[in-house]
Amino acid sequence: MPLDVTGLGLDALAARVRAWLEDHLPAHWRDAALTGDRHALAAIARDDAVTRAWYAELGDSGLATAGWPVEHGGLGLAADGVAVVADELARLHAGRPMSDFVGVALAGPTIVEWGTDEQKRRFLRPLALGEHRWCQLFSEPGAGSDLAALTTRATRCADGDWVVDGQKVWSSFSDRADYGLLMARTDPGRAKHRGITYFLLDMRSPGVEVRPLRQLNGQSEFGEVFLTDVMVPDTDRLGRENQGWAVAMTTLAQERSGLSGRPGVGPGRADALAARARDTGAWDDPLLRDRILRAFVAERVLQMTTVRAFADLGRREPGAEGSIRKLAHGTLDATLGLLATEVEPGGAVAHDPADGDAEAALDAFLSGKILSIAGGTSEIQRNIIGERVLGLPRDRDPYADVPFAERPRG
Amino acid sequence: MPLDVTGLGLDALAARVRAWLEDHLPAHWRDAALTGDRHALAAIARDDAVTRAWYAELGDSGLATAGWPVEHGGLGLAADGVAVVADELARLHAGRPMSDFVGVALAGPTIVEWGTDEQKRRFLRPLALGEHRWCQLFSEPGAGSDLAALTTRATRCADGDWVVDGQKVWSSFSDRADYGLLMARTDPGRAKHRGITYFLLDMRSPGVEVRPLRQLNGQSEFGEVFLTDVMVPDTDRLGRENQGWAVAMTTLAQERSGLSGRPGVGPGRADALAARARDTGAWDDPLLRDRILRAFVAERVLQMTTVRAFADLGRREPGAEGSIRKLAHGTLDATLGLLATEVEPGGAVAHDPADGDAEAALDAFLSGKILSIAGGTSEIQRNIIGERVLGLPRDRDPYADVPFAERPRG
Amino acid sequence: MSADPFRWTPEHEEFRAVLRKLTESRTPLACAPAPASADQRERELWRAWADELGLPGLVVPESHGGAGFSRLELAIAAEELGRAVAGGPLFASAVLATEALLATGPDAAAAEILPALAGGTSVAALAVVEESHRWAAADVRTRVGDGRLTGVKHAVLGAADADVLVVAAREDAGVSLFLVEPGTGVEIVPLAVLDPSRPAARVDLTGAPARRIGVAGEGWPAVERALEAGAVFLAAEQVGGSRALLDAAVEHANTRVQFGRPVGQFQGVKHRLADMAVRTELAAAAATWAAWQEPGTDTARLGAAVARAHCADAYLETALDAIGVHGGMAITWEHHAHRYLRRARADLAVLPGPAEQRRLLETMIGTGV
Amino acid sequence: MSADPFRWTPEHEEFRAVLRKLTESRTPLACAPAPASADQRERELWRAWADELGLPGLVVPESHGGAGFSRLELAIAAEELGRAVAGGPLFASAVLATEALLATGPDAAAAEILPALAGGTSVAALAVVEESHRWAAADVRTRVGDGRLTGVKHAVLGAADADVLVVAAREDAGVSLFLVEPGTGVEIVPLAVLDPSRPAARVDLTGAPARRIGVAGEGWPAVERALEAGAVFLAAEQVGGSRALLDAAVEHANTRVQFGRPVGQFQGVKHRLADMAVRTELAAAAATWAAWQEPGTDTARLGAAVARAHCADAYLETALDAIGVHGGMAITWEHHAHRYLRRARADLAVLPGPAEQRRLLETMIGTGV
């Protein structure tokens, strides 16, 4: 039963959400969040029964998908309202986990915009209730930044359904996903952007194999997905045949905007870094202290920019401006990662294996570079800013209009 | 009478040059240099009679043009030997002034390589003796980094001589020059690099007008040169008709290499900056101190690189590697310029008009950016390094092979 | 903090449009005068700002003859003036001196002169910094005796044009503020400046008659309040300057052809412009956020310091980048780029700069603000 | 300084070629083992280096069983090993510990073990740093009593593999060096390391029997000499690493096609590679110049500090840039890039880093060196 938030200003909306959470969130969850008890929160996150019940209740209220239209189980809020809801949920650690980002932030809006009535019925409600997990199947080993150069093939069968073959990569949480947002080439006789179709792939289909990809920090958030003679019914096509690139644009705009966080100006990673530096004595070094303060300034400025972006957006959709925040975020993440090690004794490079602070610092350092590559490299973001925000001339692929099959291979 | 330096090692060469200077340099000049008396040196520089006589004697000895072949009045030394000579001359402030750089470092080697016997006879000896001053007439308002897009026209008359019309810019010391290294388009029906011819222009010719160009720091080192119906005899053509681009390559390679200074590792601008910072108290700021030390490291590293470049060069000609030093030099110059202001009280931004230190600091700041533009922007240097040093694919002008006259205009 | 994020209103946008039209029509970028010849134009512009828009009294309460607006309107004005590197006494008089006066209560002496300042018929200058060039109470050595001031004030912005000086001086109770009029015991020695659009002078006080404003020994908080407002003003001004530079550089990149294509198509130029845009958008967000805070609060102090720390460095980098994009033309005297470069460098020193702001933030980081 | 500039000789070039062949054949970049499984390969490589090329004794005088070469040959070895991020005890034993021993005279105790170290049949480790993680004489708190050492040494490179430890400890006369063999009173606790190619351990000394080397209280100059040699070695090693990264990134940029052309044609990539090349060429010049100076002289100290300050930062930047050029593939565990990134970051901390070197240079700037 969706919460009624019609006509509320942002402050009133915040109050309404807070009151609802007060009434509905299990008390032990609320207490763990408010006391900042990390162990209790981790235990809750691992307790499937509790989380499943909560995400169902949250989804039913419309708060998990506050930006979706009311008729699809959302609250019909603009970006600023969505941000307010996200803030309230974050305060109690009550929102959907990061692994649901692809589903809630990307798959949902894309299906809302492009889906058939039947697709909306099939996918949106389970997504809102936390019943389906999604992953994104866009990138390929041979088509990194140049997404549209993808070679995964979808061939139409006599009955109108499709057989898909190819390989995808950089697919977050693909090992746990129920469905995947898939782009595949359906007409190599057309130019590269014009022969792609977008599908909603059932990850349980025979022929889908997921292999985790180990990152430089030793963790495996991404997967490689191998597709071998995978049958996809035509009813799982999203948008029209060979017009998948337009559908993907919706997904990508959401992704750029969504990766850069919730609005709000307040203590962040740099504050924590300063606290740690005071503990280890690193704060006494004026050069290091100044670098931490530079990061502090950069983090607050990015927060202020995010606040403004949400305010500016109002009812508009996220656009190329998201690239500005993504670029700044990537730089900041790398800086904070390096600083994290520098405040540890000996730079954390040789430490007691049980020293959790040192381990976390090294992970922050090694992960720091990932954000400026995943979700579009910094070079690609600069192209987007230059071309779509500033209106500079595009540097076109010389084979952009050549049939895909006739392009030279690199 | 050229000095005999046959078979000398570099240390012996240095000793020989030092002894010769001891015998020949006027005593008051030598004393001014050794005591570091700036006022006396400035007075000497202004005394035409003294400098003219000295440059003639220096030229006669071959030391002013130590890298030229012996038959043209040089000493036939390789780059390392030339550097040793330059060091000894610099020690006594006895070398040719910066305004002779184009003549000695660019015009000379280009004429040696491409000149007819008659041109070598006419130009090389006066150049060596300091009788001719030269400027470079390559850049145009419409063709900055893209030098080969020049539109200054040289049209052949019936008698085989040429009439030149057009406008040049960024010509250092052009107001004082006797001759100019001129590139002009002689066949617009050919592709842009293939219709250019190289001339040795008499700057006293009717139709040559020079207007000083005021720089952002208020000084006028450069000029604009307007060419209106200027007659140039065909005997002043350097190299073959329409093959001027190849001739220009010789000049440009010398320029890139020459701009980055003489080899030697020792006290430089950063040392002077540290001394000044100690005087003003700026040295007490650990952040500023560290930035000065970074500049110190960068300056010493650049010196070490120049030493190595000269050693590596041996008898080879300067090449694309010069771009590496030019790029580093541009960055360092900008850094030192900013730091120069920061060590002054109040950043020198508001100061007693009689405060020479503040004025010099502001000039260093404003001039700091010039080096990364003059003589090829940093972007162009990066292209040269990427393409000619690292062998990356060139990003070709799409109209490179189109007749020049048929290119679209911007 | 309220969940309702700040939004510019239609009135704000209109104010901005009027200001831009007025400012651009008088100091168009394309034919901007060389700084040294700008005096006459700037005087005319100042009259127009005062008479048509009431800029000098923008943040002065209506009860003291001003318009009673907030720092948001001030930030709009700053941004538009910054676009044109406009000179005139707005920053020195209407921001620094006026804010210091307002912060004294305003007390009776301040209240007496505020209407003329708000109306732009009189201008003031704030004289604080001395030989050390530091904005620090401990460094104020100008002494008071018998109602007369003796000391030397350095780099006082707008001093030569000022009808009245607001001077920080030390008495037994601490640092107080005083009103001093040019005349007996006051020598104003113009200084050479990097940025000719912001003239500065040394003020030699040799027994200059002075009236104390505010409570004895409580002058420094008023200086700090002026610094907070000044930081917000400069940040917004720098956003305006950055935007003007970015616009002109984008225009150049779209039209200048090299190697057979507009230079903006080359990633070397395109990515540099993108970096300028990123820096500038972040600067705009920070300046606006800072202007949006209630003056004198913890978040206002934080916002001002953060905005000034980011915007000042961003502006200098952008000015240098712009020269890189324009290439040779930008290193000539006639091109607009060096006016911005001069302003950007000078801005680092006219108030406590980014390094000092970060030092200030040492006390705020990790405190929950 | 002599006017005759340094030039590599044909013998140097041959030594380099042999080393590269040997190192690349054992640890080719393309199929480099994951760091953790590299142990066996590295032991084999160490034997080959020792037996075929005499690397462990490169700078040990012939009278003590070494090859008697200079730091130039050591720099060549470092560069080639750095190309492959090769592990093994060369840096810890043949550079740090051996240089410290040589700097004691070598005295009789040192001379006794040098032939085995030079032959590579025995390896040593230098244990200096304690809880503060600083290379400072004042921070050495390990005490001597009755010929036994008590204290804790942190982050000792190569300690777990060492046959003998060279330990700095404090006695009444000051800091001295001691030889300690693993065994009674010595506990070696392996640490988790960012760069698995350079294992480190904590060494807990609880009354460990020790023999003093050199004069009592004069141990620190020997440590400084080891630091000078170590700085030169690391700088050269980092040049090798930077060059390997640059070569691989150029190769990638020439072959990887995106948007219809090799990515190296885009200035975004091309200029980044150019910046990597600039940094690396400057690093190579600095490392060579430093290696060329007479050890222990003012110019050697200057060269080592300048080279280490430049090369360490340059290497880290280049490792990060290389990841940017390779894009997604470079953030996987299998790709070579993170081995260089780990090494580059760890290198900042294994000896006094760039910030400490600049602090050291404070005493040299402006002194005419």
ipTM of the complex: 0.93
The boundaries of every CATH 1.20.140.10 domain in chain D are 221-366
pLDDT for residue C239 is more than 60: yes
> Which token pair is B79?
């780059």
Test D5 with B80 for CB contact under 8 angstroms. Answer: yes
Residues 6 or more apart in contact with residue B214 via CB below 8 angstroms? B220, C332, C333, C334
The boundaries of every CATH 1.10.540.10 domain in chain C are 10-117
Test A349 with D338 for CB contact under 8 angstroms. Answer: no
Q: How close is the nearest chain D Cα to the Cα of B385, in Å?
A: 6
Label residue D369 by pLDDT band (50, 70, 90).
confident
CA C29 to CA C27: how far, in whole Å?
A: 6
Test B341 with C154 for CB contact under 8 angstroms. Answer: no
pLDDT for residue B290 is more than 90: yes
Test D192 with A334 for CB contact under 8 angstroms. Answer: no
CA angle A180, A182, A185 (to 5 degrees): 160
pLDDT for residue D82 is more than 80: yes
Average pLDDT of the segment spanning C240-253: 97
CATH architecture of D221-366: Up-down Bundle (1.20)
The answer to whether B319 and B253 are in contact (CB under 8 A) is yes
> Which token pair is C261?
């294509």
| Higher pLDDT among residues C207 and B370, named by residue | C207
- The minimal CB distance from B215 to the residues C260, C332, C349 is found for C332
**A404 lies in a domain?**
no
- B255 catalytic? Reply is yes
CA B157 to CA D310: how far, in whole Å?
A: 59
**A203 lies in a domain?**
yes
Are B201 and B143 part of one and the same domain? Answer: yes
Chain C interface includes B339 (CB < 8 A): no
pLDDT for residue C31 is more than 50: no
> Which token pair is D273?
């590679």
The answer to whether A48 and A91 are in contact (CB under 8 A) is no
Element (H, E) at A303: helix A286-313
User: Can you give the pLDDT at residue C39?
Assistant: 66
| A36-64 per-position pLDDT tens digit | 888 899 899 999 999 999 999 999 999 99
pLDDT for residue D27 is more than 60: no
Interface of C with D in 229-268 (CB under 8 A): 266-268
User: Is the alpha carbon torsion for B245, B248, B252, B253 positive or negative?
Assistant: positive
- The minimal CB distance from C328 to the residues B170, B287, B407 is found for B170
The answer to whether B182 and B199 are in contact (CB under 8 A) is yes
Fold classified for C123-219? Butyryl-CoA Dehydrogenase, subunit A; domain 2 (2.40.110)
CA B205 to CA B50: how far, in whole Å?
A: 29
| Residues in chain B within 8 Å Cβ distance of A286 | 286-287
Residues 6 or more apart in contact with residue B161 via CB below 8 angstroms? B231, B232, B233, B234
Between B372-386, D157-171, D253-267, the lowest mean confidence (pLDDT) is in B372-386
**Which of these, C240, C247, C289, C280, lies nearest to C77 by C-alpha position?**
C240
Could you tell me what percent of chain D has a pLDDT over 90?
82
The answer to whether B90 and B98 are in contact (CB under 8 A) is no
Chain D interface includes C37 (CB < 8 A): no
CA A80 to CA A308: how far, in whole Å?
A: 10
| D107-125 per-position pLDDT tens digit | 999 999 999 999 999 999 9
Are A295 and A360 part of one and the same domain? Answer: yes
CA angle C140, C141, C147 (to 5 degrees): 105
| Residues in chain C within 8 Å Cβ distance of B170 | 328
CA D176 to CA D134: how far, in whole Å?
A: 17
Distances (CA, A) of A270 to A274, A288, A339: 6, 12, 9
The tally of domains found in chain B comes to 3
Which CATH number goes with the domain that contains B150?
Answer: 2.40.110.10
**A391 lies in a domain?**
no
User: Can you give the pLDDT at residue B142?
Assistant: 86
| Residues in chain A within 8 Å Cβ distance of B290 | 287
pLDDT for residue D338 is more than 80: yes
User: Can you give the pLDDT at residue B319?
Assistant: 64
- Tell me the backbone φ, ψ of residue D212, rounded to 5 degrees: -70, 140
Q: Using omega within 30 degrees of 0 as the cis cutoff, is the peptide bond preceding C295 cis? A: no
User: Can you give the pLDDT at residue D39?
Assistant: 66
Could you tell me what percent of chain D has a pLDDT over 70?
94
| B101-126 per-position pLDDT tens digit | 899 989 999 999 999 999 999 999 99
Q: How close is the nearest chain A Cα to the Cα of B327, in Å?
A: 22
Fold classified for D10-117? Butyryl-Coa Dehydrogenase, subunit A; domain 1 (1.10.540)
Domain boundary among A67, A96, A125: A96
Instruction: Please give the mean pLDDT across all residues of chain D.
Output: 92
Test A407 with D260 for CB contact under 8 angstroms. Answer: yes
Residue of chain C with shortest Cα separation from A378: C271
Q: Which stretches of chain D sit within 8 Å of chain A by CB?
A: 129, 131, 133, 154-155, 191-195, 200, 202, 255-262, 266, 268-269, 320, 323-324, 327-335, 337-338, 341-342, 345-346, 348-350, 355
The answer to whether B146 and C258 are in contact (CB under 8 A) is yes
Residue type, C331: I
CA B361 to CA B34: how far, in whole Å?
A: 25
Label residue C28 by pLDDT band (50, 70, 90).
very low
Test B348 with C266 for CB contact under 8 angstroms. Answer: no
Average pLDDT of the segment spanning C126-131: 97
**B205 lies in a domain?**
yes
Average pLDDT of the segment spanning C282-309: 96
| D339-348 per-position pLDDT tens digit | 999 999 999 9
Please state the pTM of the whole predicted model.
Answer: 0.92
- The minimal CB distance from C194 to the residues B362, B395, B408 is found for B362
**A253 lies in a domain?**
no
User: Can you give the pLDDT at residue C1?
Assistant: 40
**Which of these, A125, A176, A168, lies nearest to A147 by C-alpha position?**
A168
Residue of chain C with shortest Cα separation from D272: C268
User: Can you give the pLDDT at residue C275?
Assistant: 97
Element (H, E) at A209: strand A208-213
Average pLDDT of the segment spanning C180-206: 96
CA angle D267, D273, D275 (to 5 degrees): 100
Chain D interface includes B389 (CB < 8 A): yes
| Residues in chain A within 8 Å Cβ distance of C299 | 265
| B171-223 per-position pLDDT tens digit | 988 999 999 999 999 999 999 999 999 999 999 999 999 999 888 888 888 89
**A398 lies in a domain?**
no
**Best of A18, A84, A260, A265 to mutate (most C CBs within 10 Å, chain C):** A265
Label residue D38 by pLDDT band (50, 70, 90).
low
CA C298 to CA D108: how far, in whole Å?
A: 68
Residue of chain C with shortest Cα separation from A299: C306
Could you tell me what percent of chain C has a pLDDT over 90?
82
The answer to whether D236 and D308 are in contact (CB under 8 A) is no
What percentage of chain C's residues is helix, strand, coil (to nearest 5)? 55, 15, 30
Average pLDDT of the segment spanning B150-158: 95
pLDDT for residue D282 is more than 60: yes
pLDDT for residue D37 is more than 50: no
Catalytic residue among B255, B299, B342, B344: B255
> Which token pair is D40?
């066996």
CA D39 to CA B313: how far, in whole Å?
A: 42
Test C5 with A267 for CB contact under 8 angstroms. Answer: no
| C60-114 per-position pLDDT tens digit | 999 999 999 999 999 999 999 999 998 889 999 999 999 999 999 889 999 999 9
Chain D interface includes B288 (CB < 8 A): no
pLDDT for residue D104 is more than 60: yes
Test A311 with C5 for CB contact under 8 angstroms. Answer: yes
- A140 strand-pairing partners: A143
pLDDT along chain A (410 residues), means of 10: 86 94 95 88 92 96 92 87 86 90 92 96 95 95 87 95 95 93 96 96 97 88 94 97 95 70 78 96 97 98 87 57 88 96 96 94 91 80 93 88 82
Are A232 and A268 part of one and the same domain? Answer: no
| Residues in chain A within 8 Å Cβ distance of C275 | 382
Neighbours of B354 (CB within 10 A): 8
Give the distance between the most distant pair of CA atoms in chain A.
Answer: 73
**B1 lies in a domain?**
no
CA A171 to CA A152: how far, in whole Å?
A: 15
| Residues in chain A within 8 Å Cβ distance of B287 | 286-287, 290
Q: Count of H helices and E strands in chain A?
A: 14, 9
Test C257 with B409 for CB contact under 8 angstroms. Answer: yes
SS3 C195: coil
The answer to whether B326 and B375 are in contact (CB under 8 A) is yes
pLDDT for residue C32 is more than 50: no
Label residue D279 by pLDDT band (50, 70, 90).
very high
Average pLDDT of the segment spanning D225-248: 98
- C174 strand-pairing partners: C171
Q: How close is the nearest chain A Cα to the Cα of D5, in Å?
A: 37
Residues 6 or more apart in contact with residue A247 via CB below 8 angstroms? A110, A114, A198, A238, A239
Label residue C4 by pLDDT band (50, 70, 90).
low
> Which token pair is D289?
């110049």
CA A101 to CA A112: how far, in whole Å?
A: 16
Could you tell me what percent of chain B has a pLDDT over 90?
68
**Best of B385, B394, B396, B397 to mutate (most D CBs within 10 Å, chain D):** B385
**Best of D342, D345, D348, D356 to mutate (most A CBs within 10 Å, chain A):** D345
Chain B interface includes A287 (CB < 8 A): yes
| Residues in chain D within 8 Å Cβ distance of B316 | none
User: Can you give the pLDDT at residue C324?
Assistant: 93
Test C320 with B369 for CB contact under 8 angstroms. Answer: yes
User: Can you give the pLDDT at residue C5?
Assistant: 62
CA C229 to CA C223: how far, in whole Å?
A: 10
- The minimal CB distance from B349 to the residues C255, C337, C349 is found for C349
| B389-404 per-position pLDDT tens digit | 999 999 888 888 889 8
User: Can you give the pLDDT at residue A10?
Assistant: 86
CA C208 to CA C205: how far, in whole Å?
A: 6
Burial tier of C31 (Cβ tally within 10 Å: 0-12, 13-18, 19+): exposed
Which structural domain, as residue segments, surrounds residue A49? Answer: 10-96
The answer to whether C165 and C186 are in contact (CB under 8 A) is yes
